[in-house]
């Protein structure tokens, strides 16, 4: 028995040592010598011995051709977390040159057998110029032949590929700890007929000084897709994030059917459409604990459900915000939308009458959610099916605003979140205790914004915002408002009813006046000329329509 164990140990040592480094097969790693053959020779040798790990020591490896990873073989670099490309280049970096202007060509790295892996590697395309719009097309950076099941990509950086990872017919795959900024599509999955996992993937503008106005970044923000899932049996997407894409998470059908999927902590920020759902299969799509933000222009939306969807889209404990008109568009006559325990903020950026949730078709349930005050929370179109809107709260002393054009609103019972405020003497401060008092204003910004150092403020949405302040009827009050203006938002004033109490002045000013109201609440309107930051600073992506910045209101009974 002892002799058998010794023999097995010797065999294992010989297999693991054989071809353990690409440098054993002639790789140089100087960034100039073509190391394609050395990589493939090392990988083929490992496969010939039944599998193993081929290591890639730190260095710059120029690859003019394509790399094939056989079954049961791992190509592993030095990284044990998602890499970064630095001037020191202390890790394993592959410089990809093959396939320029040929998106249908042979993948840069291709799995040719199951049970194989790519790990600890950074990939960079030196001939991809950020000045070229549209971005230069290439074949997929990492792909797999059909039937390559149980493959893994982990601890990798795909910095600037045209298409990052494309798996078609690769069941039970694992994509983990991958970063990058693909210019066309980040990850594409289709015909994967078993549970597969994507986790801890971060698609973000690596290697780019991001500006929405930069043509390269703007093209990606309007056209590229971060994650696209077609036919997949229970695709798990966990702890993933993308920034600045045309579509963050897309669910589609390329002739083989849609997927069913679970998205847990899967966030999208500054996307034209954060989640786009075109096709699903039973029982549908589950989005949980996810932050969802679309931004920049009026046609952006957080979640859009197309008419082709016939299954359920369910959101639980999510958060929506961003410079959008509408967060959710439901337009699937045969689909179901369920939204619960979710927070909605900052919509109506370009149209104050736009709803946070726009239901034009299908069945919907909106329950236990929280909405900002002052705007339409839910709009139910005339062609919408059965709709339940109940147990929701508005951030303010009023009920949830619902526009209903359908005859199928089966339940509507929503609470009112009321504050307790002393109407004698009090202060309302932007971003602190003002959510019940200010309307038609954006989220609070601190004094470090590009519009000047100073106090925390809320910009009015366009040329008009207003405050609702509790008072005691018949009592005389002294009221002061702290407001910030610049040269773009002047030509206005503070109004009570039809009376102008004060004209707006340039800079940070405190406006004081006295009133004797005949009601228990007064409305003060702040009116001015509207402007857009993107029109003021060329290339700046903030397309909101702003006015002036409200900072603080002090209300005191006059003595």
Report angle CA 152, 268, 299 to the nearest 5 degrees. Answer: 135
Instruction: Quickly count: other Cβ atoms within 10 Å of residue 235's Cβ.
Output: 23
- Kindly indicate the confidence band of residue 539, based on its pLDDT and cuts at 50, 70 and 90: confident
Is 448 inside a domain boundary?
yes
Which tokens sit at 71? Answer: 């079954």
**Do 125 and 179 have their domain in common?**
yes
Render pLDDT for 101-155 as a digit per residue (tens, 0 to 9).
999 999 999 999 999 999 999 999 999 999 999 999 999 999 999 999 999 999 9
Is the same domain home to 120 and 170?
yes
Q: What are phi and psi of 42, to 5 degrees?
A: -65, -40
With respect to residue 10, please indicate whether it lies within any of the assigned structural domains.
no
Tokens of 453: 């150092």
What CA–CA distance (Å, rounded) separates 482 from 429? 9
Last residue of a domain, one of 387, 418, 449: 418
> pLDDT of 208-253, one tens digit each?
988 888 999 999 999 999 999 999 999 999 999 999 999 999 999 9
The answer as to whether 5 is a domain residue is: no
Q: Is the pLDDT of residue 417 over 70?
A: no
> What's residue 453's pLDDT?
54
User: Which CATH number fits the domain that encloses residue 524?
Assistant: 2.60.120.1320
Write out pLDDT tens, residues 23-74: 999 999 999 999 999 999 999 999 999 999 999 999 999 999 999 999 999 9
Q: Would 551 be classed as within a structural domain?
A: yes
Regarding beta strands 464-470 and 521-527, do their DSSP bridges make them parallel or antiparallel, or are they unpaired? Answer: antiparallel
Of 170, 189, 208, the position where a domain reaches its end is 208
Residue 12 placed within a domain: no
Residue 231: the pLDDT is 97
Residues 444, 388, single domain; the answer is no
8 A C-beta contact, residue 355 and residue 329? no
Residue 90: is its pLDDT beyond 70? yes
Of 281, 289, 341, 358, the residue nearest 313 (C-alpha)? 281
DSSP 183-225: SSEEEEEESB-S-EEEES-EE--TTS---TTSHHHHHHHHH-E
Average pLDDT, the chain: 90
Model confidence at 89, pLDDT cuts 50, 70, 90, reads: low
Do 382 and 240 lie in one domain? The reply is yes
Is there a single domain that holds both residue 520 and residue 509? yes
* Residue 13 maps to a domain: no
CA dist., res. 113 & res. 482, Å (int)? 67
Residues 6+ apart with CB under 8 A from 199: 174, 175, 176, 177, 236, 237, 238, 239, 240
Residues 440 and 294 in one domain: no
Checking if the pLDDT of 326 tops 50, the result is yes
Is 7 a domain residue? no
Q: How far out from the chain centre does Cα 559 lie?
A: 53
Specify whether 80 is located in the same domain as 166: yes
Side-chain-side CA neighbours of 153 within 13 Å: the count stands at: 31
| 242 and 199 in a common domain | no
Q: Is the pLDDT of residue 8 over 50?
A: no
Given this model, what pLDDT does residue 297 score?
83
Burial letters for 111-135: b for 16+ Cβ neighbours within 10 Å, e otherwise? bbbbbbbbbbbbbbbeebebeeeeb
pLDDT in tens, 359-414: 999 999 999 999 987 788 999 999 999 999 988 888 765 557 888 898 877 767 67
The answer on 178 and 289 residing in a single domain is no
Give me the percent of the chain exceeding a pLDDT of 90.
Answer: 69
Report the C-alpha gap between 393 and 415 in whole angstroms.
Answer: 5
- Assign residue 121 the CATH number of its domain: 2.160.20.10
Which range is least confidently modeled, 42-51, 189-198, 446-455?
Answer: 446-455
Domain around 95: 19-208
- How many Cβ atoms are within 10 Å of 320's Cβ, its own excluded? 29
**DSSP per position, 387-443:** EEEES-EEESSSPPPEEE--S-EEEEE---------SSEEEEETTTT-TTTEESBPP
Shared domain check, 389 and 277:
yes
Q: Are residues 78 and 104 in the same domain?
A: yes
Domains identified in the chain, total number: 3
Both tokens of 66, joined, read 């394509």
Token representation of residue 278:
């075109």
> Which of these three, 181, 208, 235, is where a domain ends?
208
E strand or H helix at 46: helix 36-48
The mean-pLDDT minimum among 169-178, 390-399, 490-499 falls in 390-399
Which residue in 221, 223, 228 sits closest to 205, CA to CA?
221
């Amino acid at each position: 028995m002892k002799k058998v164990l010794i023999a097995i140990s010797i065999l294992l040592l010989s297999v693991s040592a054989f071809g353990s480094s690409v440098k054993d097969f002639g790789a140089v790693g100087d960034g100039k010598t073509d190391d394609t053959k050395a990589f493939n020779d090392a990988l083929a040798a490992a496969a010939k011995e039944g599998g193993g790990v081929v290591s890639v020591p730190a260095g710059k490896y120029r690859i003019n051709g394509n790399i094939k990873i056989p079954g049961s073989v791992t190509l592993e670099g030095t990284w044990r977390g998602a890499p970064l490309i630095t001037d020191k280049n202390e890790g394993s970096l592959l410089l990809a040159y093959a396939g320029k202007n040929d998106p249908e060509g042979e993948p840069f790295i291709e799995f040719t057998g199951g049970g194989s892996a790519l790990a600890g590697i950074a990939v960079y395309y030196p001939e991809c110029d950020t000045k070229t719009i549209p971005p230069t097309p290439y074949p997929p950076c990492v792909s797999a032949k059909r039937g390559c099941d149980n493959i893994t990509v982990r601890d990798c950086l795909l910095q600037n590929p045209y298409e990052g990872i494309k798996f078609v017919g690769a069941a039970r795959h694992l994509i983990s700890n991958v970063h990058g900024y693909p210019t066309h599509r980040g990850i594409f999955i289709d015909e994967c007929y078993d549970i597969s996992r994507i986790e801890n993937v971060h698609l973000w503008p690596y290697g780019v000084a991001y500006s929405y106005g930069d043509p390269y970044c703007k093209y990606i923000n309007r056209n590229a897709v971060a994650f696209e899932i077609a036919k997949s049996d229970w695709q798990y997407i966990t702890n993933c994030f993308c920034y600045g894409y045309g579509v963050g998470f897309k669910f589609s059908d390329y002739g083989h059917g849609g997927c069913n999927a679970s998205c847990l902590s899967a966030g999208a920020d500054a996307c034209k459409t954060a989640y786009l759902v075109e096709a699903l299969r039973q029982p549908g799509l589950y989005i949980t604990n996810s932050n969802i933000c679309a931004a920049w222009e009026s046609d952006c939306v957080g979640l859009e459900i197309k008419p082709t969807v016939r299954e359920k889209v369910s959101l639980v404990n999510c958060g929506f915000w961003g410079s959008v008109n509408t967060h959710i568009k439901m337009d699937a006559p045969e689909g179901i939308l369920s939204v619960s325990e979710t927070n909605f903020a900052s919509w109506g950026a370009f149209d104050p009458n736009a709803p946070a949730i726009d239901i034009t078709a299908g069945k919907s349930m909106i329950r236990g959610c929280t909405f900002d005050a002052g705007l339409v929370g839910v709009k139910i179109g005339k062609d919408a099916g059965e709709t339940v809107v109940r147990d929701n709260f508005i951030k303010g002393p009023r009920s949830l605003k619902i526009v209903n054009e359908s005859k199928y609103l089966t339940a509507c019972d929503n609470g009112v979140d009321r504050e307790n405020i002393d109407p004698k003497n009090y202060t309302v401060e932007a971003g602190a205790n003002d959510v019940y008092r200010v309307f038609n204003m954006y989220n609070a910004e601190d004094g470090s914004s590009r519009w000047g150092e100073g106090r925390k403020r809320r910009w009015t949405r366009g040329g008009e915002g207003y405050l609702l302040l509790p008072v005691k009827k018949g009592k005389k009050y002294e009221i002061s408002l702290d407001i910030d203006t610049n040269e773009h938002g002047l030509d206005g004033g503070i109004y009570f009813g039809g009376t102008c109490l004060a004209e707006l002045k340039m800079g940070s000013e405190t406006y004081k006046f006295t009133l004797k109201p005949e009601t228990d609440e007064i409305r003060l309107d702040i009116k001015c000329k509207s402007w857009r930051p993107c029109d003021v600073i060329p290339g700046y992506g903030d397309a909101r329509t702003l006015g002036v910045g409200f900072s603080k209101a002090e209300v005191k009974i006059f003595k």
